[in-house]
Amino acid sequence: MSGEPPVNPTDPAGTASPAPAPAAPVEPSAPPVLPSSAARLADKPALNAMAGEDDVGWSRHLGLPFFFRHAMPATNARISFWLGMLIILLIAGLHLLLMPIKDSPLLVSLRKLLLLTGSQFISPQEGLQRLQDTYTIIALILGCIISPMLAVSSLVQERIAGTLEFLRLAPLSSTAIVLGKIFAPGQALLKFAALLLLLGAAAGIAGERSLDQECVAMLCIVCGITLLHGIAGLCSTLTLAMRGGAATSLFFFGAGLITTLPATTLREPLLSFCAHLSPFWAPVIYFWSPAIRGLEISSTWFGKSLLVPVFVLLTQGLLFFLLVHAAARKLEVPERPALPRPLWALAACWLIIVSIGAGMNSIHTVSPVGSVINLQGWDAAWKFCTLAGSLLLILALLDHPFHRDTLLTLECTRLQQRLSRPRLVWRGLTHACFILALALALAATILGMNRAAQTGRDLQPLMAILAVVTVLYFMFAVILEAVAVRFASFLIQGAFTLLIAGIFTTLVVLPAVRMLDAYGSWQLVAQYEEFKLRTKGLQVTRTSYQFNQILSSDGKLNEKFEPYYWEFDTLEDFEAHKKQYQDSPAAVYWHYHQGQALSYPLLFILSTFIVFWWRARNYRQLTEEVQKALSSA
Amino acid sequence: MIECEGLTRYYGTFAAVRDVNLNIPRGAICALTGPNGAGKSTIMRMLCTLLTPTLGRARIAGRDVVRDTIGVRRLIGYLPETFPLYDDMLVEKYLQFFAKVYGLDRDTAKARVEDFLKRLGLTEKRDAKIQTLSRGMRQRLGVAKSFLHDPEVVFLDEPASGLDPVARTELREFLKYQQHLGKTVVVSSHVLKELADFCSHLAIVQSGRLVEFGPIGGAEGVLAKYAGHSLSGRRYALRVLRDAARLEMFLTGIAGPETPANLVRRDLNFTFEFPGGEEAAAALLGKITAAGFLVAQFTPEEPDLEAVYRRAAGSGGSD
């Protein structure tokens, strides 16, 4: 049969050893005369890489080979280098001219001749600080905007053109390719930015800025620039839509988040360490705010300011690793999730650690009785964990393994191999269960932090909210799976997911809103009733604004409040009623709107059932589709 | 050297390649042929680690293409059917760039780039920008890049497309030379005449299935295999000195199971397929001469790769 061909005697197994020796030709009929150079080459060890096994790690291929692809012609490189140097000198010269040096007649006359102005700085120190600011701003523009943009453009263009496939044939890991591709295009700019930062730091130190603050600021800037390149790498491997335009937009969105979102924590002393994650905000914190705004920002993590650089380094390092790893995975197999589950779990763990670090930060407040309250850190921590955790969960949710093409392939192989299939109800639920586990872990952390923030606080409302949100995340994952099994088009998938997820969210949010509305109305009516009972027999004409609200123009109750009105004979009856319901919006809602209160959970259960039924139907259709394709083949 | 066991690749429900079993020995030049869309490129891309097989496994020199992608990539060179190049690079720089990517040291890289420029007729274009090269020159550059790092196994997908006849001959000679160096080469093409005189093995793919595989020549080869039998018999060439029209009527008028089929007449020359063996052919010749025709030539045609392909593809495989 075709699969059993005769085996060459020189290689009986056809497999030989992993590092094969030169072999004899199969049919050595009249071999051509070897040219001398070729003969020499044939004797040489062919490939350096062949000598050492698996020497393709990050250290060896840290993008270096790819720099040649983007190298400028020598003349252009020389011109650019000297132009850059000239700009640096010009900026330095300009600042020198503006220095308040009066005993140099040459400087004064030059200043008047060129700038038609006097000195602009109060002291030489200020001049040097401004010089650093100028250098830093230029370095930030080059490193944070232009260089990552070049990286996106280069990687996307190579993917569109297909030249990246040739690189993938080389003995390089996808991670090495991504690393090379994100740093190669802007390497000249990055070197220039590094020089500017170094010169700026030197000027800053000469201008009496503190060395440790310079170091932390430089660390934040360098880490930030690196992270933005990581974002550029991931964005350019995620999509090629609109000939790379979508990747560019995605990059701007990601870069916007990473540069502006941390700044929102700047005014919150307990969380201000997060602001260090933005390369644009590090100089603000250390240089500009104290000088311009007179604002001293003292950041701590785990209660120690020394740990802030550690936080920056570890967080940015982890984020960069995750981004590059995700980009490499997407480059290798686009249908695969960007990150494996252990790495999502690692990200969640780091988020919890960061939150705990924020919780350990504290503001010491002396209570009226004199005791020191030391718990506000946890208050900030649980809020931070809620926001960042939601973002993490949404990203993990979207990074699902359900691609219609992959599922069809799996089904084909299953049917062909006659392999047993997991039961329909459990099939594909691992992702939803993983999301649920992440959500539960984060919810538990949030609850614990909330408890630590204020002992004695009633946790029940928060527990209820978190339970509902956790279930919602699980349902979103199931919906995403069901939609992905059914539709191939990304747009239709998105539209359907939004529609169904919207229905589910409405089924949770709407009763909550109605419950709170009912509770508010009940409270108002109760106050009115209490007022009436307490002022029974008295001549009282004054009514509050709220009471006027519940009464219509003819003095009768408004329709909205009518259901909650219950005329009590005695104040005692009223007190008993109030005591029963005053702390429980759910009880009020149940008492007055039993139909609605019952219908929303029923609708939720019904919708859940419909989603699971639809999901099972989609899987069945998928199987039928495969069976049809296999039988026709 | 190249082993495939049950190699299968699905795109959704479409099986681009199914259950391909191959064992190409070291030093072989294997022609991978089949109609457009048969799955040749998919097989190559799986062997080159660019696509993951859905089922089955493949090994190059004992290295698994899924588990040891980096190890396999060190051993292989690949020239896809359409290969984009860095248009703004110079020819020599392009080769030097890939020499560095593959980890060749400076001296080796320089010598090898020089050698390939000379061998593939690119010396004059060494300082030209790639965007100025013709289709054929780009193809040569692609071939040079594929062999640059001295791979053990090279996959060439339609390497001769876009080449003029002289360049095709040069490419043939180049591949023969590579075979002499002990390289294993898999060439995909559906121009079988190009492959006939330098390939040692033939693999025919149709609708994703391997319908024929084996060495071309030798007693066990596919040519010998298909020389003895076919769907409608062995092909014969017949030439008469006159009365060609009458002979055509005579041949078509022969009744019985051993009737000449697929008769083609060109002036005094005929070709036809005859299902009988050599004795029956001799009897047929006797009938023709007895009928008064002056026969100048009556010879069986040796089957070529095209005939093998036609028959293998027509029968859906020899198994």
How close does chain B come to A239, measured CA to CA in Å?
19
- Residues of A numbered 42-61 whose beta carbons fall under 8 angstroms of chain B's beta carbons: which are they? 42, 44, 46-50, 54, 56
What pLDDT score does A41 carry?
36
The answer, yes or no, to whether residue A14 has pLDDT greater than 60, is: no
pLDDT digits (tens, 9 = 90+) for A149-188: 999 988 888 888 888 888 888 888 888 888 888 888 888 8
The answer, yes or no, to whether residue B58 has pLDDT greater than 70, is: yes
Rounded percentage of chain A residues whose pLDDT exceeds 70 = 79
What pLDDT score does A26 carry?
39
The answer, yes or no, to whether residue A402 has pLDDT greater than 70, is: yes
The total of structural domains in chain B comes to 2
Is residue B196 domain-shared with residue B147, that is, in the same domain? yes
Interface A-B, measured as beta-carbon pairs within 8 A, has a size of 212
**Quick one: closest CA in B to A49, which residue?**
B103
Contact A607, A615 (CB under 8 A): no
Interstrand relation of A365-366 and A372-373 (parallel, antiparallel or unpaired): antiparallel
Mean predicted confidence (pLDDT) in A134-157: 91
Q: Between the ranges A43-47, A432-436, B218-222, where is the mean pLDDT highest?
A: A432-436
Q: Is residue B275 in a domain? A: yes
Of the two residues A141 and A283, the one the predictor is more confident about is A141
Of the two residues A465 and A364, the one the predictor is more confident about is A465
pLDDT digits (tens, 9 = 90+) for A544-583: 666 667 676 666 777 777 777 777 777 787 788 888 777 7
Query: Cα B131 to chain center, whole Å?
Result: 30
Is residue B19 domain-shared with residue B167, that is, in the same domain? yes
- Domain range for B237 is 231-302
Nearest to B1 among A3, A14, A169 (CB): A14
Q: Is residue B225 in a domain? A: no
pLDDT digits (tens, 9 = 90+) for B168-186: 888 888 888 887 888 888 9
In this structure, of A67-76, B196-205, B283-292, the range with the lowest mean pLDDT score is A67-76
What is the torsional sign of CA B24, B28, B33, B38? positive
Mean predicted confidence (pLDDT) in B135-141: 85
What pLDDT score does A61 carry?
44
Is residue B114 domain-shared with residue B32, that is, in the same domain? yes
- Residues of B numbered 137-166 whose beta carbons fall under 8 angstroms of chain A's beta carbons: which are they? 145, 149-150, 152
Is residue B81 domain-shared with residue B57, that is, in the same domain? yes
Q: Is residue B316 in a domain? A: no
The answer, yes or no, to whether residue B310 has pLDDT greater than 60, is: yes
Q: Is residue B314 in a domain? A: no
**Quick one: closest CA in A to B20, which residue?**
A3
Hey, are the CB atoms on A23 and B27 less than 8 Å from each other? yes
The answer, yes or no, to whether residue A125 has pLDDT greater than 70, is: yes
Place of tokens 């089957």: B303
Is residue B57 domain-shared with residue B102, that is, in the same domain? yes
Contact A224, A316 (CB under 8 A): yes
Q: Cβ contacts (< 8 Å) between A65 and chain B: which residues?
A: 97, 100-101
User: Between vectors from CA A215 to CA A203 and to CA A61, what angle results, nearest 5°?
Assistant: 110
In this structure, of A66-75, A422-431, B62-71, the range with the lowest mean pLDDT score is A66-75
Is residue B174 domain-shared with residue B48, that is, in the same domain? yes
The answer, yes or no, to whether residue A195 has pLDDT greater than 90, is: yes
Q: Is the ipTM of this complex over 0.95?
A: no
**Quick one: closest CA in A to B317, which residue?**
A2
Confidence band of B232 (pLDDT split at 50, 70, 90): low
B13 shares contact with chain A (CB less than 8 Å) = yes
Mean predicted confidence (pLDDT) in B189-213: 80
The answer, yes or no, to whether residue B77 has pLDDT greater than 80, is: yes
Query: Cβ–Cβ contacts within 10 Å for residue A391, how many?
Result: 13
Mean predicted confidence (pLDDT) in B23-39: 86
Half-sphere exposure of A392 (CA within 13 A, CB side): 28
Nearest to B177 among A11, A18, A32 (CB): A32
CATH (domain of B121): 3.40.50.300
Rounded percentage of chain A residues whose pLDDT exceeds 90 = 26
Query: Cα A50 to chain center, whole Å?
Result: 40
Kindly write down the DSSP assignment for every residue of A99-111, as one continuous string.
S---S-HHHHHHH
Confidence band of B150 (pLDDT split at 50, 70, 90): confident
pLDDT digits (tens, 9 = 90+) for A610-622: 999 999 899 888 8
Q: Between the ranges A458-467, A504-513, B209-218, B271-280, where is the mean pLDDT highest?
A: A504-513
8-state DSSP, B159? T
Of the two residues A257 and A65, the one the predictor is more confident about is A257
Rounded percentage of chain B residues whose pLDDT exceeds 90 = 3
Rounded percentage of chain B residues whose pLDDT exceeds 70 = 89
How close does chain B come to A37, measured CA to CA in Å?
7
The answer, yes or no, to whether residue B112 has pLDDT greater than 70, is: yes
CA A334/CA A157 separation, integer angstroms = 17
Confidence band of A482 (pLDDT split at 50, 70, 90): very high
Query: Three-class SS of residue B293?
Result: coil
Q: Is residue B224 in a domain? A: no
pLDDT digits (tens, 9 = 90+) for A506-528: 998 898 889 888 888 888 888 87
Is residue B258 domain-shared with residue B109, that is, in the same domain? no
Is residue B249 domain-shared with residue B201, that is, in the same domain? no
* Domain end marker among B175, B190, B217: B217
Is residue B295 domain-shared with residue B251, that is, in the same domain? yes
What pLDDT score does A24 carry?
40
Q: Is residue B236 in a domain? A: yes
Confidence band of B138 (pLDDT split at 50, 70, 90): confident
The answer, yes or no, to whether residue A607 has pLDDT greater than 90, is: yes
Contact A375, A303 (CB under 8 A): no
CA B303/CA B235 separation, integer angstroms = 8
The answer, yes or no, to whether residue A31 has pLDDT greater than 70, is: no
- Residues of B numbered 19-78 whose beta carbons fall under 8 angstroms of chain A's beta carbons: which are they? 21-29, 48-50, 52, 54-55, 59, 61-63, 70-71, 73-74, 76-78
State both tokens at A547: 């009471």
The answer, yes or no, to whether residue A625 has pLDDT greater than 50, is: yes
Contact A86, A73 (CB under 8 A): no
What pLDDT score does A139 carry?
94
Of the two residues A84 and A424, the one the predictor is more confident about is A84
**Crossing angle of helices A594-632/A585-592, nearest 10°?**
90
- Residues of A numbered 59-98 whose beta carbons fall under 8 angstroms of chain B's beta carbons: which are they? 65-66, 68-69
Mean predicted confidence (pLDDT) in A206-228: 90
Is residue B148 domain-shared with residue B293, that is, in the same domain? no
CA B239/CA B296 separation, integer angstroms = 5
Q: Is residue B309 in a domain? A: no
CATH (domain of B263): 3.30.70
Q: Between the ranges A277-281, A285-289, B83-87, B225-229, where is the mean pLDDT highest?
A: A277-281
pTM score, two decimals?
0.79
Of the two residues A116 and A623, the one the predictor is more confident about is A623
Is residue B270 domain-shared with residue B163, that is, in the same domain? no
B14 shares contact with chain A (CB less than 8 Å) = yes
Is residue B151 domain-shared with residue B47, that is, in the same domain? yes
The answer, yes or no, to whether residue A19 has pLDDT greater than 60, is: no
* Domain end marker among B217, B239, B274: B217
CA A154/CA A12 separation, integer angstroms = 47
Mean predicted confidence (pLDDT) in B156-161: 82
The residue ranges of DSSP E strands in chain B, in sequence order, are 2-11, 14-24, 29-33, 55-60, 63-64, 76-79, 153-157, 184-188, 201-206, 209-215, 234-240, 261-266, 269-274, 295-300
pLDDT digits (tens, 9 = 90+) for A586-598: 888 888 888 888 9
8-state DSSP, A289? I
Mean predicted confidence (pLDDT) in B203-215: 85
Query: Cβ–Cβ contacts within 10 Å for residue A550, how many?
Result: 21
CB-based contacts of A122: which residues, under 8 Å, 6+ apart? Answer: A100
Mean predicted confidence (pLDDT) in A458-484: 88
How close does chain A come to B164, measured CA to CA in Å?
22
The answer, yes or no, to whether residue A350 has pLDDT greater than 90, is: yes
Hey, are the CB atoms on B26 and A16 less than 8 Å from each other? yes
A370 shares contact with chain B (CB less than 8 Å) = no
* Domain end marker among B174, B189, B217: B217
Mean predicted confidence (pLDDT) in B108-112: 89
Q: Is residue B72 in a domain? A: yes
The mean predicted confidence, pLDDT, of chain A is 79
CB-based contacts of A372: which residues, under 8 Å, 6+ apart? Answer: A364, A365, A366
Q: Cβ contacts (< 8 Å) between A40 and chain B: which residues?
A: 111
What pLDDT score does A633 carry?
61
What pLDDT score does A38 carry?
38
